[in-house]
A and B are shown apart, each in its own frame.
Chain A
């Protein structure tokens, strides 16, 4: 039993004042992903079963490269926010919750960078 008052115990454990930012960026990225993901699916369909040269030409178009990078940025940002909410809801032990959220954020950032680097390498003709 602690002798500290309930208020003193609760202080510093409250909201990090980032809830609104999380909520808002989740909606913003969602909004951006509506046209971006529709474009991506439609584009991938048009190059279904394409050979290497066709696919490279596709990514080398500046518009395609920029749209791919925008999709990657929005999708992984959105994914990372969503995973955080899911982990906060289902992982109850505090250390495991923090650890899995950090791990998932690192993973999403790593995947985003690999994807973006691949696009840049093709687009800039590495």
Chain B
């Protein structure tokens, strides 16, 4: 799939950008935090698929004990722009994730905005719209009694 390849390409370019931050210039790495190993994403597969001939990773990773994470530059990929974040602990890459993703301007532009309707129970009753459950942000046990779901359940218990 063409899209995938260009995504991987952009990932790799971003990754090299990150590694360049670690180039042995004696500069310390901008340490933000050390995260636990991030689950492998498509980005890590691009690492494994690096051609055996490429020695980029072995040459630029510094020998000093490096811990921290850094974000590479934004790179174009087929659906927009993305940047890759790499996390290193004891010189080992322990996390590789997408640090920022900007979708195409065109998608944002084509999105329609809708005003949010306010549907009160009278409205729903008048139109005989039977609502079985209410989805919303998680309520506490205490707030449940005052939630619409609480009211619905009270009705059903009758």
Do chains A and B interact in one complex?
no
Question: Measuring CB to CB, which residues of chain A are less than 8 angstroms from any residue of chain B?
Answer: none
Question: Measuring CB to CB, which residues of chain B are less than 8 angstroms from any residue of chain A?
Answer: none
